Amino acid sequence: MIAMTVMLIALSIVSSLLARAWSVRSRESRTADALASAQAAIDVLSREISNSGFGLTDDSSTQLPASNGLVLADCNANKIRFRANIENEGGTFGSNVTSTHINRPGEDVTYFFDSATQSIVRYDPNGFTTDSITYQPLTSVVVNKVSNVTFAYYNYAGSTSASTLVTTPTNDTGRIRITVDVQLEQVAGQVNPQTITFSSDVTLRNNSYMLKQY
C-alpha cells in the first residue's frame, strides 16, 4: 500500500514536470514563429521604404531631390504611402507625379495593417500588367499572423532631428521606425496572452537631409 502511494506520488510529479516541459517547448516554438513573421515583415517593408523618393527631382539639370517621397496625406501611425521613380524615367517631380513619371510597378506603394485577416497588406495601383501598356492595381498580403504594424517618423530640421518620434510625417522626415507586434497563441500553463514586438529604423536615403550627410 505504501509502495503504491509512493509510486502514484512519483508519477504525479513526473507528469507535472513533463507537462511543464511541453508547455515551455510549445511557448518557445510559438515565439520562434512569431519572430520569424515579424522579421519577414520588417525586411520586406524596409527594403521598399528605404527607396522612397528615389529619382524624384525638382530640376532635371541639378537633380536635387524634390521630396522624401512620402505622400503625407496618406501617411500616419497605421499606414504609409510612398513614391519612387525606380525606372528613373520622366524627368522632374512636377505636376505629373501621378501620371507618366511614377506609373510602374513598385513606384507608388501603400502598406497598411488589415485587422480582419491579421496581415500586412501591400497596395500598388500599378502592380501588374498583361500587355506592357496598361497597368492594373494589385493588392497582396506581405505577411500574416501579425497583430499590428505601426509607423513613427523622425523629422529633421537643419542639423538636428526631432527629440521624439511622431506619428505624422513632414517633408523633413528622414527616418521611419517600423514596429510589428505578433501575439502568441495561448499555451496552457503559460502567462497568456503574450506579444512579441519587433522594431527597426529605416533611413530614407534619398531624403535631402540624408544626402547631405555623405
Higher pLDDT, 115 or 38: 115
> CB of 128 within 8 A of CB of 163?
no
Label residues 165-177 b or e (16+ Cβ within 10 Å = b).
beeebeebbbbbe
Residue 43: enclosing H or E segment and its boundaries? helix 2-49
User: CB neighbours (10 Å) of residue 148?
Assistant: 16
62 vs 71: CA distance, rounded Å: 23
Contacts of residue 152, defined as CB under 8 A and 6 or more positions apart, other chains included, come to: 77, 165, 166, 167, 176, 177, 179
What's the distance, CA 190 to chain centroid? 29
pLDDT at 145: 77
Share the mean pLDDT of the chain: 77
pLDDT, position 19: 62
Q: Return the domain boundaries, the chain.
A: 2-211
In this prediction, residue 27 has a pLDDT band, given cuts at 50, 70 and 90, of: low
More confidently predicted of 157 and 97: 157
- The pLDDT tens digits of the residues spanning 128-140 come to 877 767 788 999 9
**Grid cell locating 34:** 512569431
